[in-house]
């Protein structure tokens, strides 16, 4: 489950971030599902399977809260589109790779300061747990 911070703007002194980049809120999207071909099991690579993504995006929400305009925040459909494109796109051997790709793409969005991505899948064999999340 990678948590990555943005490097937008100038580099602040160690331990400090520029005032404009301080996160004032978070968007949490849970349970986005998509069909993909990620893994190293030959059957999964051929048949594919359903994956689930959870996102926690830290961003500056002050401007949007003051203006009440969607243009002043990062809309949920944009986050969904980014995650789904990667989830249903180029296959990867590891869920960690899929999560890193999603995190990197979301960090390219303005106002995003930090993102945590969880990618899960159901185990391919009958086992006692319900899903796998790195």
Q: In angstroms, rounded to a whole number, what is the distance separating the alpha carbons of residues 14 and 112?
A: 19
Question: What is the per-residue pLDDT for 44?
Answer: 80
Question: What is the per-residue pLDDT for 12?
Answer: 45
Question: What is the per-residue pLDDT for 54?
Answer: 97
State the virtual CA torsion across 54, 96, 126, 32 in degrees, nearest 10. 20
Q: Is 46 a catalytic residue?
A: no
Give the pTM: 0.78
Question: What is the per-residue pLDDT for 31?
Answer: 96
Residue tagged active-site, from 4, 81, 85, 121? 121
Are the C-beta atoms of residues 34 and 50 closer than 8 Å to each other? yes
What stretches in the chain show pLDDT beneath 50?
Answer: 10, 12-20
């Amino acid at each position: 489950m990678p948590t990555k911070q943005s490097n937008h703007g100038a580099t602040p002194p160690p331990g400090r971030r520029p005032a404009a980049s301080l996160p004032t809120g978070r968007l949490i999207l849970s349970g986005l599902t998509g069909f993909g071909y990620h893994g190293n099991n030959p059957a999964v690579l051929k048949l594919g399977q359903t994956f689930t993504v959870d996102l926690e995006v830290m961003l500056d929400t002050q401007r949007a809260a003051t203006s009440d305009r969607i243009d002043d925040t990062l809309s949920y459909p944009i986050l969904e589109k980014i995650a789904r494109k990667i989830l249903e796109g180029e296959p990867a051997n590891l869920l960690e790779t899929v999560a890193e790709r999603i995190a990197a793409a979301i960090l390219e969005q303005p106002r995003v300061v930090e993102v945590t991505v969880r990618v899960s899948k159901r185990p391919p064999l009958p086992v006692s747990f319900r899903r796998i999340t790195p």
